Amino acid sequence: MLIDLLVRGGDLLTVDDAGTVVRDGAVAVDEGEIVAVGAAAELCARFRARESVDAVGCLVLPGLVNAHTHLAMTLLRGRADDVKLQVFLERVLRWEAELLSPKNVAAAVRLAVAESIRAGVTSALDMYWFHEAAERAARQAGWRLLTGPCFMDVPEPPDGRAYGDRMVWARRDLQARGPAHRGRRPVVFAHSTYTLSPAQLTEIAALAREFGALLHLHAAENATEVATVEGRYGRRPVELLDSLGLLGPDLLLAHAVELTGPEIAALARTGTSVAHCPVSNLKLGCGIAPVPRLLSAGVTVGLGTDGAVSSNSLDVLGAVRQAALVHKAGGDPTAVGAERAVRMATIEGARALGLGEQLGSLEAGKRADLIVLDLGAPHLRPSHDPWSTLAYAAHSADVRDTVVDGRVLMRERVLTTLDEEAVIADLEALV
């Protein structure tokens, strides 16, 4: 049988439910879909491929999922360091009003996509202004971006669109987008419970549900936010969302650092997911999300980098390491283990997006998003356990090849769909 792509010869970390590892394995891909996973000898005998990737001496795994980010914030990288969240937000909002335009967002997203492909990130949930420009830039590079209309009721928003007009615009966008397909789904972004009123949040959630969209918002990022919302509405952010009937399997919360026991129980009861952003949370002094308690309660937890202005990189593998380490600080080295952290960046991130049946593991029938990690460097040898290697030893620079929807976007560390020098030069010209 003739297929489009065969990745052969490496050790496969499939990240299926059983945690299957296939030594000297192969992944067969056709029309953007994984059609077979198994031993290299078997698949090489079954398939002839138009294109192949020799993964001998490498680890092959699902592409990493960035479950919460603001990609175009690469434009502001390094401009708001070492400040508290509220000061950070004041500065960033002012700069966004001055700097953002469709052209600038597109340039910043192209840089973010190049950085992400290099880091083995094959998909991201991107909340930001001018999402149409971001989506075009990602599509041109062949990269998987989930984005959509964003609501944030602030004076003089960068796109100049008042809240009343925003609902009409968002509906038009969702109508044109259509239903979920091929590893993508419609998304609606509501910034937070402190930049939108309860009535606005209810209206936005109704719109998302009408179109079967994922609803994504920031919640309980630090103690000051919680106190602000509680003072304004008499309820903490998650309590408020619960009272409004917004919690549920189509809601993904970013951060969720400041949670009570009853709030964790409410997330578990409703099937609400969380995007854990450990690097950003630490850098902004927000605290450490109660991830072990969330996991024990059965809450789905993915990993995000947040924007490059608060975490300074889009390195999901770095977030894996931080997630595997920071929760041990309480004295329990088993709090978040290596396998759990890697799963948060792959299959659990896909499930948090509502795309666990299509992304996040190397299994027949799923979209062909995968990466090849070179195991030849001294810091990766010997490789006794692939979960451990990824969580505690590997760096994003070890990623050699990146494939999205069956298309090789980086081969032998060279980007194939982006002119890296031009991308960098374009952004430098803006700043």
% of residues, the chain, pLDDT over 70: 100
Mean pLDDT of 25-32: 98
User: Given this model, what pLDDT does residue 393 score?
Assistant: 98
Short-list 190, 174, 241, 185, CA closest to 214: 185
- To the question of pTM greater than 0.95 for the whole model, the response is yes
User: Given this model, what pLDDT does residue 155 score?
Assistant: 86
User: Given this model, what pLDDT does residue 295 score?
Assistant: 98
> Which residues on adjacent β-strands are paired with residue 60?
12, 372
pLDDT band at 431 (very low <50, low <70, confident <90, very high): confident
Short-list 350, 370, 373, CA closest to 360: 350
User: Given this model, what pLDDT does residue 156 score?
Assistant: 85
In contact, 423 and 111? CB cutoff 8 Å: yes
Tell whether the model's pLDDT for residue 180 goes beyond 90: no
User: Given this model, what pLDDT does residue 44 score?
Assistant: 97
**DSSP track, 340-394:** HHHHHTTHHHHHHTT-TTTSSS--TTSB--EEEEE--SGGG-S-S-HHHIIIII-
Q: Residue 113: what residue type? A: V
The larger pLDDT score, comparing residue 349 to residue 431, is at 349
Strands 150-151 and 407-411 turn out to be unpaired
User: Given this model, what pLDDT does residue 73 score?
Assistant: 95
- Over the stretch 43-97, which tens digit does the pLDDT of each residue have? 999 999 999 999 999 999 999 999 999 999 999 999 889 998 889 888 888 888 8
Domains of the chain, each with CATH number or no CATH: 2-62+360-414 (2.30.40.10), 64-352 (3.20.20.140)
For 132, the token pair is: 């149409």
CA-CA distance, 376 to 36, in Å (whole number)?
26
For 393, the token pair is: 């030893």
89-93, 168-172, 229-233: the lowest-pLDDT one: 89-93
User: Given this model, what pLDDT does residue 48 score?
Assistant: 98
CA dihedral 410→69→125→26, nearest 10 degrees, is 30
Longest Cα–Cα distance in the chain: 66
